[in-house]
């Protein structure tokens, strides 16, 4: 529509004012767009006489609008033409394997893995590589799962969880009464239909309210997946990753989109071409050798969250948790061998990468960040090594007290409390306080690994 607010530069990445004259209404418009997450699509002048963009096109889903252009209209304003995708789309999810744990025989599976573990240690595994020993463990475990844990193929079910069988029954009755009223045109039948329609509306509202109370209340701590599942069902856009623009090409197929995202993620990695400075003699005590024991491995396995998603090896967390007594010795040997040799099984070097949209245009691969799912066994070993390193740093008081990130008993909250306390004390003492806040773009993707390893070695 014609907003008559032409002093805004819509071509810039972030809309900006061109003039301070009548800026109040322009600022109110920009604030409204920001408050309601609206995107303005017209960047060309729509009134040739003033060469200003007065006719605007606003949408809450910018990826559904394309090919915005102007053409001659019936007045001194140009007409705005555009394409809008209103088709109901949903990302396709192929059938996947679902284990029926309530029918699993974990007792026999533990016995199977205990017997296999004994045979493994009788076969002189120290003469094999880490990869060979891990492959033996994985194949044995997969065979045990196939024998003692039933499974089925599950397809996604697109339904609202608060629509119960009782509500569905009333919905069917409402539809029958509606057809009957349309056919007879009798007031009596219309009254019956309206009564049932109102009942269905009331039941849906009550059920939805009860479901929300459960999701936001009791289940939020015990089962957060339920909450995030509700958030996903509430989103209007569920069509997956849209076509991407990369290197002046439009990527439409799944493979081309995956290649574009892979290239984008790879481009932000830090390339360490400069020589790493020599830190000289370290003033700190060297860390002791890590000796991994099976009791510690069993403890870590037993504390796994059974709902954790598995990695490329497809070994579920529930299986590792249930089998912690029978597989801890086997995994302990593999962990120690991997640590001592400095090598990893190929599975542990792979990850299932999900591209999560951050902000701005969904067609730009730079607006996605990668979330990697690695093997759970590798994560268990990482936790053991992290615990060993953290204890060394804490015991020798190596980390400064001002570091609140990635430390036990420290967090954003403790840092914020400390900062506010220091600022308040400075204000009370009438001292000047200067604060510099830094935010590193794509920080986790651009960690200088070689320098980090050099720092840890020092």
Q: What pLDDT score was predicted for residue 13? A: 66
Closest CA to 419 of 400, 439, 433: 433
Q: In the structure encoding, which two tokens stand for residue 354, read together? A: 């999900």
DSSP helix/strand/coil, 30? helix
CA 63 to CA 39: how far, in whole Å?
10
- Asked if 184 and 162 touch (Cβ cutoff 8 Å), the reply is no
Q: What is the 3-state secondary structure (H, E, C) of 113-136?
A: HHHHHHHHHHCCHHHCCHHHHHHH
- pLDDT tens over the chain, length 458 residues: 778 878 888 887 677 787 777 778 888 888 888 777 788 888 888 888 888 888 888 887 777 788 888 888 778 888 888 888 776 556 566 777 888 888 999 999 999 999 999 999 999 999 999 999 999 999 999 999 999 999 888 766 667 788 899 999 999 999 999 999 999 999 999 999 999 999 999 999 999 888 888 777 766 666 777 777 777 666 655 557 877 888 888 787 889 999 999 998 888 777 777 788 787 888 888 888 999 999 999 999 999 998 888 899 999 999 999 999 999 999 999 999 999 999 999 999 999 998 888 877 777 888 888 888 999 999 999 999 999 998 998 888 888 888 888 888 888 899 999 999 999 999 999 999 898 988 877 777 777 788 888 888 87
The predicted structure's pLDDT at residue 220: 67
CA atoms of 67 and 81, how far apart (whole Å)? 8
Buried b (16+ CB within 10 A) or exposed e, 236-272: eeebebbbbebeeeebeeeeebeebbeebbeeeeeee
Angle between helices 106-122 and 324-341 (to 10 degrees): 40
Q: Which residue has the tokens 């493979």?
A: 255
Could you tell me where the DSSP H helices lie in 36-129? 106-122
Q: Which tokens go with 45?
A: 């002048």
- Which sequence spans correspond to the domains of the chain? 8-84, 165-235, 401-457
CA nearest neighbour of 332 among 304, 305, 295, 306: 295
Structure token pair of residue 34: 């920001």
Q: Between vectors from CA 58 to CA 54 and to CA 62, what angle results, nearest 5°?
A: 130
Give the position of tokens 């006489």.
49
**Phi and psi, residue 303, nearest 5°:** -95, 5
Q: Where are the beta strands (DSSP E) in 158-214?
A: none
Separation between Cα atoms, residue 234 and residue 213, nearest integer Å? 16
Q: How far apart are CA 46 and CA 77, in angstroms?
A: 6
Beta bridge partners, 371, equal 354
């Amino acid at each position: 529509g014609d907003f008559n607010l032409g002093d805004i530069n819509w071509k810039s990445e972030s809309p900006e004012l061109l003039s301070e004259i009548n800026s109040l209404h322009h600022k109110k418009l920009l604030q409204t767009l920001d408050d309601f997450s609206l995107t303005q699509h017209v960047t060309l002048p729509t009134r040739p006489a003033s060469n200003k963009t007065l006719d605007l096109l606003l949408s809450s889903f910018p990826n559904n609008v394309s090919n915005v252009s102007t053409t001659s209209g019936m007045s001194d304003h140009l007409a705005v033409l555009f394409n809008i995708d209103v088709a109901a789309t949903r990302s396709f999810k192929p059938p996947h394997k679902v284990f029926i744990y309530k029918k699993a025989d974990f007792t026999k599976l533990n016995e199977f893995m205990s017997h296999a573990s004994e045979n493994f240690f009788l076969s002189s595994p120290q003469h094999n590589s880490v990869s060979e020993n891990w492959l033996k463990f994985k194949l044995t475990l997969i065979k045990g799962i196939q024998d003692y844990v039933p499974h089925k193929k599950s397809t996604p079910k697109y339904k609202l969880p608060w629509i119960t069988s009782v509500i569905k029954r009333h919905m069917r009755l409402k539809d029958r009464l509606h057809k009957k009223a349309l056919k007879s045109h009798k007031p009596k039948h219309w009254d019956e239909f309206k009564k049932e329609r109102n009942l269905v509306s009331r039941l849906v509202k009550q059920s939805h309210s009860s479901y929300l109370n459960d999701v936001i209340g009791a289940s939020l701590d015990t089962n957060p997946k339920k909450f995030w599942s509700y958030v996903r069902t509430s989103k209007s856009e569920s069509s997956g990753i849209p076509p991407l623009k990369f290197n002046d090409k439009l990527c439409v197929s799944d493979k081309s989109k995956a290649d574009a995202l892979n290239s984008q993620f790879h481009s932000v990695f830090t390339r360490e071409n400069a020589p790493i400075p020599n830190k000289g003699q370290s003033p700190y005590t060297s860390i002791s050798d890590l000796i991994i024991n099976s009791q510690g491995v069993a403890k870590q396995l037993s504390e796994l969250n059974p709902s954790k998603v598995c990695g490329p090896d497809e070994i579920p967390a529930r299986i590792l948790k249930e089998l912690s007594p029978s597989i801890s010795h086997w995994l302990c040997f593999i962990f120690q061998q991997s640590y001592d040799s400095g090598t990893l099984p190929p599975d542990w070097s792979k990850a299932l990468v999900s591209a999560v949209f951050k902000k701005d245009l969904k067609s730009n691969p730079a607006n996605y960040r990668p979330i990697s799912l690695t093997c759970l066994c590798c994560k268990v070993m990482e936790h053991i090594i992290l615990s060993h390193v953290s204890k060394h740093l804490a015991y020798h008081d190596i980390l400064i007290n001002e570091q609140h990130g990635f430390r036990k008993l420290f967090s954003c909250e403790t840092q914020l409390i400390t900062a506010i306390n220091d600022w308040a004390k400075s204000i009370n003492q009438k001292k000047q306080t200067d604060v510099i806040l830094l935010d590193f773009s794509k920080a986790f993707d651009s960690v200088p690994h070689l320098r980090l390893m050099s720092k840890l070695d020092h």
